[in-house]
Amino acid sequence: MQHHTVRTDWSVAEITELYHTPLLALVARASSVHTVHHSYRDIQCCTLLSVKTGGCPEDCAYCPQAARYATGVDVHKLMDVGTVTQAAQRAREAGSTRFCMGAAWREVRDNSDFDRVLEMVTQVRALGLEVCCTLGMVTADQARRLAEAGLTAYNHNIDTSSSFYGSVITTRAFDDRIDTIANVRAAGLSVCSGGIIGMGERDEDRIGFLHTLAGFDPHPESVPINVLVPVEGTPLADSAPVDPFDLVRMVACARILMPRSRVRLSAGRLSLSHEAQALAFLAGANSIFTGEKLLTTPNPGTDSDQDLFHKLGIVPTQPYSVEFSITESAE
């Protein structure tokens, strides 16, 4: 049956047709794919921590942490291991099963800071959490060392289509991102890669973005779909707000194209009503970032999310059972 097939050979024409499907029919199809591979009760809660903040040499037009934009972000050198493990412990107590550490680096360097991140990875993993890092570009050897330290997944977003990429970032190329993702995969790590909508991209760019992701073999296990959080001082500060239905459309397409992946409703949830988030869950989103803050920008707090889960009858993935969450049978 079509729904059981995981394909990596989707054509641009097929994805274009999918993308332009009337929304309710698209959501209905995504929902039927979702229930084959996942359970609606299972939404993974993840916690982000910026372990090294601001001062980044890159020019990503959306990013509050790029040194060249005056965004008022508090620049902070790499945190101590103890501070990070305490934050991970609190995240676990608050119900998170995955802890994601972000650093505002262009790339990882083989220095004492990297050694410290490796130690953070080992200690957070020892708490029984999935551990993800997003540290910029990595070599094959660095990815291997992260895997040896106990890392579960590495996040490296392609962000948008290859053709729109240069309008958003000029200090590195789309293919650099692809190379890092290949290094991560070669190290046996789980891949987390997605992107952002609301940066002025056209439908064709969203389709191209989905086409690149759906063409990875295997697909990224984790696909974050971010809605741009416009930050004062960045070139994209005055971007037009995203229509929540566009987010739902992207989630539904991601779910249909990459049936087994965890699709993460990531940045931008503050601009979404509970109803819009419910529709995104119906369309196949099955993870959120919880807690008051993403990396540097605000996020709905625990009260709001617990209220949302309660209203929808969602039981977040339980701590300590994370190994089983992806294979859990459908309802």
Q: Per rule CB under 6 A, is residue 282 in the interface with ligand DTB?
A: no
Active site residue: 92, 185, 262, 264, which one?
A: 264
Q: Which of 54, 224, 244, 300 binds ligand DTB (CB under 6 A)?
A: 224
Which residue lies nearer to ligand DTB by CB, 102 or 284?
Answer: 102
Stretch that binds ligand DTB, among 1-9, 164-172, 222-230, 311-319 (CB under 6 A): 222-230
Terminal Cα distance for the chain, rounded: 18
Q: Closer CB to ligand DTB, residue 153 or residue 248?
A: 153
C-alpha to C-alpha distance for 87 and 64, rounded to whole angstroms: 22
Q: Determine if 102 is a binding residue for ligand DTB (CB under 6 A).
A: yes
Least Å from the CB of residue 250 to ligand DTB: 13
Q: Which helix (H) or strand (E) holds 6?
A: none
Q: Residue 46 catalytic?
A: no
Active site residue 253: no
The counts of H helices and E strands in the chain are: 12, 10
Q: Rounded distance, CA 279 to CA 219, Å? A: 24
> Per CB under 6 A, does 155 bind ligand DTB?
yes
- Three-state DSSP class for 95? coil
* Assigned token pair, 96: 């998170």
* Helix, strand or coil, per DSSP, at residue 287: strand
Cβ neighbours of 258 (radius 10 Å):
27
**One-letter amino acid for residue 140 of the chain:** A
Rounded CA-CA distance 173/178 in Å is 9
The candidate with the shortest Cα–Cα distance to 75, out of 87, 67, 83, is: 67
Q: Is 295 in the site for ligand DTB (CB under 6 A)?
A: yes
* Residue 45 touches ligand DTB, criterion: CB under 6 A: no
Give dist(CA 279, CA 285) in Å, integer.
9
Please return the burial class of 330, using the count of CB atoms within 10 Å of its CB with bins 0-12, 13-18 and 19+: exposed
264 is catalytic: yes
| Binder among 19, 51, 58, 129 for ligand SF4 (CB under 6 A) | 58
Q: Which is nearer to ligand SF4, 104 or 242 (CB)?
A: 104
From the list 45, 46, 92, 132, the catalytic residue is 132
Give the shortest CB-56-to-ligand SF4 separation in angstroms.
Answer: 3
CB of 119 to ligand SAM, least distance (A): 19
Backbone φ and ψ of 52, nearest 5°: -145, 115
Locus of tokens 């490796």: 118
Among 267, 272, 280, 285, binds ligand DTB (CB under 6 A): 267
Of 27-35, 121-129, 292-300, 308-316, the window that binds ligand DTB (rule: CB under 6 A) is 292-300
Minimum distance from CB of 130 to ligand DTB (Å)?
Answer: 14
Q: Which of 45, 56, 133, 253 is catalytic?
A: 56
Shorter beta-carbon distance to ligand SAM: residue 97 or 134: 134
159 binds, among ligand DTB, ligand SF4, ligand SAM, none (CB under 5 to 8 A by kind): ligand SAM
**Does residue 118 belong to the site contacting ligand SF4 (CB under 6 A)?**
no
Other CB atoms closer than 10 Å to residue 65's CB: what's the count? 24
Strand-pair category, 262-265 with 222-227: parallel
Annotation says 45 is catalytic:
no
Show Cβ contacts of residue 16 under 8 Å, excluding neighbours closer than 6 positions.
Answer: 207
Q: Of the listed 192, 249, 262, 269, which one is catalytic?
A: 192
List the single partner that 66 binds among ligand SF4, ligand DTB, ligand SAM, none, CB under 5 to 8 Å by kind.
ligand SF4
Rg (CA), the chain: 18
Q: Which residues are catalytic?
A: 56, 60, 63, 100, 132, 192, 264
Q: Return residues touching ligand DTB (CB under 6 A).
A: 48, 64, 100, 102, 134, 155, 157, 194, 224, 226, 229, 266-267, 294-297
